[in-house]
Amino acid sequence: MAAITLRDVQKAYGTGPKANRVIHGVNAAIADGEFIVIVGPSGCGKSTLLRMVAGLEDITGGEIEIGDRVVNGLEPAERDIAMVFQNYALYPHMSVYDNMAYGLKIAKVPKTDIDQRVNKAAKILELGALLDRKPRQLSGGQRQRVAMGRAIVRQPQVFLFDEPLSNLDAKLRAATRLEIQKLHAELGITSLFVTHDQVEAMTLAQRMIVMNGGRIEQMGTPEEVYQRPASTFVASFMGSPPMNLLGGRGDGARFLVGDVALPVTVPGTGELLLGVRPEHATVDPAGAWPLKVDMLEMLGAERLVYGHVGGAPFTLRVDARHAVPRPGDTVRLSVEPEQLHWFDPATRARLPGH
């Protein structure tokens, strides 16, 4: 196992003023044995960053260190990593056993060692009864487990996962997430996992890196990222539905949103952005936040209420067992002061101390 350190890592396609710069000076320290999820929208650079760690993409600037070695000039095979891709990339004519053992055979690992490694990985991934089958006889989830088994038998210092669950249906994704959690608990190998799915990020990560436009917006535990987002981008990206962001003006004791004055303690005067998670507002006849209801959405155990506060869009999450308002109603809401998030409208960054 090994720690990973990224120092001012950059990537550009082309040279000179017309170069397309896609990674802009990424810095991160990943501890030995840590499970890190890199999350962000399509095109943010997360897979490019992972491929640079793997050695599949050259870096334009900076350093990548795995363990105690700077690996910038090393080939992928020399980095002691194993990668699991979105596409399972199994050999269709080989059995599950042979797919998992193939890399070891090429490396001329003794047969007794190969048998031991493959059988151990098969036991961890519950593939023991499938070792004689061909990939066409397997489900999508089983094929992905074989791909993970092929990585496990390598006994690498680092696992790299590039959106490995995106080809699975929702039920299989949930089951495979649990398998990956158990796998990391058993093996404790340093892992980087790339996804655009915030649920995968929140459930798998010990810490996460939220990327936007080739830069790290925030790095922290899932709780830190969700409860104290560093920017409006993080606040909107992490959470479904996203955080409500109300633009308005503070005068010290009130926050003015359109024609509504919210009696909250405002960190200063002038233009500000106020963030509130949909689950942190509650229906309260004595509340000071008027929500004009536009529409409802039923989600089984809960409902989403869409409306406006002072002309600004606002989403409320409510328990489906409770009475819910109807479109056209105006309901009063209350929000605890500690659930308010304040952002600078110019920089979109969280205000220090708030």
CATH architecture, domain 4-233: 3-Layer(aba) Sandwich (3.40)
- Could you tell me the residue ranges of all domains in the chain? 4-233, 244-343
User: What confidence score (pLDDT) does residue 27 get?
Assistant: 97
Taking only the tens place, the pLDDT of each residue in 289-308 is 999 999 999 888 899 999 99
Percent of the chain with pLDDT over 70: 100
Taking only the tens place, the pLDDT of each residue in 75-87 is 998 999 999 887 7
Distance in angstroms (rounded) separating the CA atoms of residues 141 and 170: 11
Taking only the tens place, the pLDDT of each residue in 171-183 is 878 888 888 888 8
DSSP 8-state assignment for residue 301: S
Please return the burial class of 179, using the count of CB atoms within 10 Å of its CB with bins 0-12, 13-18 and 19+.
middle
CATH of segment(s) 244-343: 2.40.50.140
Percent of the chain with pLDDT over 90: 69
pTM for the structure as a whole: 0.90
Structure tokens at 351: 């205000």
User: What confidence score (pLDDT) does residue 85 get?
Assistant: 85
Count of residues for the chain?
A: 354
Distance in angstroms (rounded) separating the CA atoms of residues 84 and 191: 11
User: Same CATH topology for 4-233 and 244-343?
Assistant: no
Cα torsion at 39, 43, 47, 48 (round to 10°)?
Answer: -130
Q: Which of 101, 96, 98 has the alpha carbon at shortest distance from 129? A: 96
Taking only the tens place, the pLDDT of each residue in 239-257 is 989 999 999 999 878 999 9
Collapsing DSSP states into helix, strand and coil, what is residue 231? strand
- Phi and psi for 276 in degrees, rounded to 5? -140, 125
